[in-house]
Amino acid sequence: MAEVRDVTRSFFQLPLEEKRKIRLTPRTGYRGYQRVGENITNGKLDKHEAIDCYAHIEPGKYGDLGKHLEGDNLWYVSQSHLYKMYFHVKQHVFTEIIW
């Protein structure tokens, strides 16, 4: 877990143009990087950076309703194996808390 933390920190220390290579957009299934002030919660701009990741959604699984959420998560190329590991750890912890 320490390695995942270190890689995550190193990602957020990258120059903005590097982080924007995995920018969150509707085309990416709303997955990817958001800079400070891009995310809105309860009608207010958040003051944090984030990488949004979600479970893979197979094309057509939810018909037209889920089309905009289909696809895979975006990973910063040089660190993708660690981000994937982080996502799986995060998903496991979430499952343990919720269930």
Tokens for 92? 């496991």
Query: What is the pLDDT at residue 16?
Result: 93
Tokens for 81? 């194996």
Query: What is the pLDDT at residue 74?
Result: 76
Judge if pTM exceeds 0.85. Answer: no
Q: Nearest Cα to 24, choosing from 67, 63, 68, 64?
A: 68
pLDDT tens-digit profile, the chain (99 residues): 677 677 778 888 989 999 999 899 888 888 889 999 888 888 888 888 988 877 778 888 889 888 888 877 777 665 666 566 666 666 666 666 665
Query: What is the pLDDT at residue 15?
Result: 93
